[in-house]
Amino acid sequence: MATYNSELDDKLDKELLGLYDEMHIYFDAIENDSVVIENSISYDATELATKLAKDSLRVAEILHIYDTEIAK
């Protein structure tokens, strides 16, 4: 049985909250046909959809880590 890793849990919680905030901004921009500017780079709806897909994959990875390393 794996031991609970609170440091990893806290790190992943923080990352999930950041991803949630980021994804919320992207969804709103796509819905309103807007662009998002990050580090002086403008992203349109197509690029934001790609970023959402990548963020979604990262969320899935984090949830898998929770299942395999934290929740045991």
pLDDT digits (tens, 9 = 90+) for 3-55: 667 888 899 999 999 999 999 999 999 999 999 999 999 999 999 999 999 99
pLDDT of residue 2: 54
Q: Output the pLDDT for position 68.
A: 84
pLDDT for the residue 67: 85
- Residue 71 pLDDT grade (very low, low, confident, very high; cuts 50, 70, 90): low
Q: 25: exposed, middle or buried (C-beta count within 10 Å: 0-12, 13-18, 19+)?
A: middle
What are the CA-CA distances from residue 28 to residues 14, 24, 25, 57, 63 (Å)? 21, 6, 5, 19, 24
Q: Which helix (H) or strand (E) holds 38?
A: strand 36-38
Q: What distance in Å separates the CA atoms of residue 72 and residue 69, rounded to the nearest whole number?
A: 6
Amino acid at 4: Y
